[in-house]
Amino acid sequence: MPTHDHESRPREPPAEQSFWALVPRRNLRRALFLIVALAAILFIKRMGGFSLTKLFNDVAPPPAPPSEPPFQRLEVKPR
């Protein structure tokens, strides 16, 4: 049930927009950030950069020397 009978003229089509105007900017920024972050992680990994194993090996104290002789297996030789 129309409330304004005097406004029955046809609507005009919306103005044309470019493709980039239709792309949601917030989602595009997030996608670009994720792509750049992934590329940076892959670059650092390829260059052999920061790794936790190397960090822990540099910080950890050297292993203590063994106080007992190493374990030796018994060999049984037939007579």
pLDDT at 74 over 80: yes
Please calculate the CA angle 55-35-26 and round it to the nearest 5 degrees. 125
- Do 13 and 19 form a contact (C-beta atoms < 8 A)? no
Predicted structure pTM score: 0.39
Residue scoring higher pLDDT (64 or 74) = 74
Dump pLDDT digits (tens) for 27-52: 888 999 999 999 998 888 787 766 66
- Do 33 and 27 form a contact (C-beta atoms < 8 A)? no
pLDDT at 70 over 80: no
pLDDT band at 56 (very low <50, low <70, confident <90, very high): confident
Sequence-distant (≥ 6) Cβ neighbours of residue 61 within 8 angstroms: none
